[in-house]
């Protein structure tokens, strides 16, 4: 029996979104197009998750369809990509919808963006270029069967059984970034890979050399995936050998340990805190073209791992060792070495700050720049040993030293 989500849509989509979809539906009927909701939005509707992005696929030419709607003031076009025949449009100045033309693709280089071989193919042909069965569902927006799910690949059953399944045996070869996407979906929706997908993934990870992969796509998928701050993602990244895709290490760290530290110390780059626990390969780090701030995390991690901690025996030494290092790198260093000094720094010492400043020291009679630096350092040392609780204490201390 066919599945129809019309009622579910009425209950879970906002009035504005429903109105926009109905307008599209009427326009499609008037202009002779067949249109469908496609991919993540259909999956999320079935699962009853909140909808963020609305994607419509138009059997035929999506830009033609959008221009026709814009001419009749049904929407305003925000963007057009002419080579792919995709458009972004806004309805009632509120609801943004992405429109794509049905297309077939071919991957000339593994893991790079595909090349479009045909635009305006059938919906069924369009569906087969997708990553997983659960992302290959369409929902008709056409008057005859509005709300009906069109499932060429068994995606509804897989969603019900919590199965993550690729569409064909060459899927990971064509695009290995799907391995990382799989992690993301498995964690978000609590899915398990079906046996054959597991075999294909294992085979790929054990046998493939993929230096020619598009590292920027790998980076983008890793960023989305690890930004979920989901412990299971990291556990699967290690247990399912996905780390081999980035020539990473297999550390003895549990996802929950990383999550606990991320939640406690809120590093800016959550995803790099996870990734940095495995990624070590200098060449891959270079391939990722990190920003300066991102790269610093890996440089800091290297610095911490390469320097001798045995000479550290006071709070002041610990402070100086970690002071200039990023939070991400300190968390990674702790997880890789279990050195308790890293936690002492994060937990306690990093909060300790000297309150008097250079100008105030000048007023207290220290005028030479070098001497100011030395005095600030002395105050810090004293504070780290547990004295000088407040600013008045610091000033008293300075006075006692300059008498
Ligand atoms: P999310 O909720 O994370 O946005 P999504 O499924 O909408 O999930 P997108 O990355 O926006 O994810 O992709 C939209 C759709 O495009 C997917 O549902 C899938 O059908 C298809 N897709 C995206 N990336 C790939 C890929 N690498 N290979 C094949 N199909 C893909």
Q: Is there a single domain that holds both residue 74 and residue 90?
A: yes
Which domain-ending residue is among 318, 336, 351? 351
Most informative mutation of 130, 173, 218, 219 for ligand 1 (most atoms within 8 A of CB): 130
Total structural domains in the chain?
3
326 lines ligand 1 (CB under 6 A): no
Nearest-CA residue for atom 15 of ligand 1 = 39
| Residues whose CB falls within 8 Å of the CB of residue 289, separated by 6 or more in sequence, listed in order | 215, 216, 219
155 lines ligand 1 (CB under 6 A): no
39 lines ligand 1 (CB under 6 A): yes
Cα 390 to ligand 1 centre (Å): 54
Phi-psi category of 219—alpha, beta or left, where left has phi over 0 and alpha has psi -120 to 50? alpha
Report the CATH number at residue 27: 3.30.460.10
Nearest-CA residue for atom 6 of ligand 1 = 40
Cα 270 to ligand 1 centre (Å): 22
Tens-digit pLDDT profile for the chain (403 aa)?
Answer: 689 999 999 999 999 999 999 999 999 999 999 999 999 999 999 999 999 999 999 999 999 999 999 999 999 999 999 988 999 999 999 999 999 999 998 888 877 888 888 999 999 999 999 999 999 999 999 999 999 999 999 999 999 999 999 999 999 999 999 999 999 999 999 999 999 999 999 999 998 777 788 899 999 999 999 999 999 999 999 999 999 999 999 999 999 999 999 999 999 999 999 999 999 999 999 999 999 999 999 999 999 999 988 888 899 999 999 999 999 999 999 999 999 999 999 999 999 999 988 888 898 888 888 889 999 999 998 889 888 778 888 888 888 887 7
Q: Is there a single domain that holds both residue 118 and residue 6?
A: yes
Which domain-ending residue is among 134, 161, 188? 161
What is residue 115's predicted lDDT score, i.e. its pLDDT? 86
Q: Is there a single domain that holds both residue 364 and residue 337?
A: no
Q: How many CB atoms lie within 10 A of CB 81?
A: 12
85 lines ligand 1 (CB under 6 A): no
Cα 333 to ligand 1 centre (Å): 34
What is residue 397's predicted lDDT score, i.e. its pLDDT? 85
Q: Is there a single domain that holds both residue 20 and residue 87?
A: yes
Which domain-ending residue is among 161, 179, 211? 161
| Residues whose CB falls within 8 Å of the CB of residue 313, separated by 6 or more in sequence, listed in order | none
Q: Is there a single domain that holds both residue 169 and residue 151?
A: no
Residue 373 sits in which domain range?
358-402
135 lines ligand 1 (CB under 6 A): yes
Cα 354 to ligand 1 centre (Å): 50
Cα 285 to ligand 1 centre (Å): 25
User: Which atom of ligand 1 lies at the shortest distance from residue 181's CA?
Assistant: 27
Q: Is there a single domain that holds both residue 261 and residue 185?
A: yes
For helices 231-239 and 255-265, give the axis angle rounded to 10 degrees: 150
98 lines ligand 1 (CB under 6 A): no
Q: Is there a single domain that holds both residue 148 and residue 8?
A: yes
User: Which atom of ligand 1 lies at the shortest distance from residue 185's CA?
Assistant: 3
Q: Is there a single domain that holds both residue 136 and residue 278?
A: no
Cα 258 to ligand 1 centre (Å): 27
Q: Is there a single domain that holds both residue 155 and residue 248?
A: no
Report the DSSP pairing between strands 163-164 and 192-193: parallel
Q: Is there a single domain that holds both residue 186 and residue 121?
A: no
Most informative mutation of 36, 37, 38, 39 for ligand 1 (most atoms within 8 A of CB): 39
Report the CATH number at residue 313: 1.10.3090.10
Q: Assess contact for 138 and 124: CB atoms under 8 A.
A: no
Q: Is there a single domain that holds both residue 145 and residue 188?
A: no
103 lines ligand 1 (CB under 6 A): no
171 lines ligand 1 (CB under 6 A): no
Q: Is there a single domain that holds both residue 242 and residue 149?
A: no
């Amino acid at each position: 029996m066919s599945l129809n989500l019309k009622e579910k849509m009425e209950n879970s989509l906002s009035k504005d979104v429903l109105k926009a979809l109905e307008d599209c539906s009427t326009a499609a009927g008037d202009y002779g197009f067949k249109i469908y909701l496609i991919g993540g939005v259909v999956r999320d509707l079935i699962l009853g998750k909140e909808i963020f992005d609305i994607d419509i696929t138009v059997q035929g030419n999506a830009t033609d369809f959008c221009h026709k709607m814009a001419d009749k003031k049904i929407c305003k076009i925000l963007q057009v990509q002419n080579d792919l025949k995709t458009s972004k449009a806004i309805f009632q100045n509120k609801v943004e919808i992405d429109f794509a033309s049905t297309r077939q693709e071919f991957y000339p280089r593994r893991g790079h963006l595909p090349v479009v071989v045909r635009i305006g193919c059938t919906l069924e042909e369009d569906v087969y270029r997708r990553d997983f069965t659960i992302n290959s569902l369409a929902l008709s927006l056409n008057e005859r069967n509005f709300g009906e799910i069109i499932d060429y690949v068994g995606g509804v059953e897989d969603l019900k059984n919590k199965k993550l399944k690729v569409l064909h045996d060459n899927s990971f070869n064509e695009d290995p970034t799907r391995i990382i996407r799989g992690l993301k979906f498995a964690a978000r929706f609590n899915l398990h890979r079906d046996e054959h997908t597991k075999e294909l993934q294992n085979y790929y990870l054990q046998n493939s050399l993929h230096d020619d992969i598009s590292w920027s796509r790998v980076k983008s998928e890793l960023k989305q995936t690890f930004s979920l701050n989901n412990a299971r993602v990291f556990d699967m990244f290690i247990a399912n050998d996905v780390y081999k895709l980035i020539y990473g290490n297999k550390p003895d760290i549990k996802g929950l340990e990383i999550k606990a530290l991320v939640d406690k110390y809120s590093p800016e780059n959550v995803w790099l805190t996870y990734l940095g626990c495995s990624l070590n390969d200098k060449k891959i780090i270079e391939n990722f073209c990190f920003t300066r701030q991102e790269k610093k995390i890996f440089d800091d991690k290297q610095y911490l791992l390469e320097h001798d901690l045995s000479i550290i025996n006071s709070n002041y030494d610990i402070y100086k060792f970690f002071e200039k290092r990023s939070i991400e790198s300190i968390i990674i260093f702790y997880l890789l070495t279990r050195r308790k000094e890293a936690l002492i720094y994060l937990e306690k010492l990093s909060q300790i700050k000297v309150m008097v400043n250079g100008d105030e020291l000048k007023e207290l009679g220290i005028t030479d720049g070098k001497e100011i630096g030395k005095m600030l350092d002395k105050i810090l040392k004293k504070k780290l040993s547990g004295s000088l609780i407040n600013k008045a204490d610091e000033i008293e201390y300075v006075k006692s030293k300059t008498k």
